[in-house]
Amino acid sequence: MVYVIPDVRLDPFAERGYPGKYHSATTVATTTTASFTGSSAGTVEDHGYGAGAIMIGAGANVVASKIFVAGGGVINGNDLVVGTVYEISPLQVQSTGGNIFVLKRQQ
């Protein structure tokens, strides 16, 4: 078996880390439901553990769009302002119109 060690000098993020609070984003598109628990990692529906914020896109601010919060509770899309980042850990996100952006937080 051959192990290849990546050259971190080619990737400044691997060498120095990610600046800012968040390191990646997942788009939950119209008529899509996505989970962020990590318990079904590798499936299309589960985008892994570590989501720490959400942002509602245009068209997703409707009552049928839902943010299921990790600690309990549900937030309707129409209760959030488009383009504002909310530091909420989602368990699951359900978009019925427009995009909802889920941001993974650095540890």
**69-78 confidence digits (pLDDT tens):** 989 999 999 9
pLDDT at 45: 59
For 37-59, give one letter per residue: b (16+ CB within 10 A) or e. Answer: eeeeeeeeebbbebbbbbbbbeb
pLDDT < 70: residue spans in the chain: 1-10, 13, 38-48
pLDDT at 48: 66
For 7-24, give one letter per residue: b (16+ CB within 10 A) or e. Answer: eeeeeeeeeeeeeeebee
pTM, entire model:
0.77
Q: Where are the alpha helices (DSSP H) in the chain?
A: 12-16
pLDDT at 42: 55
DSSP tag of 14: H
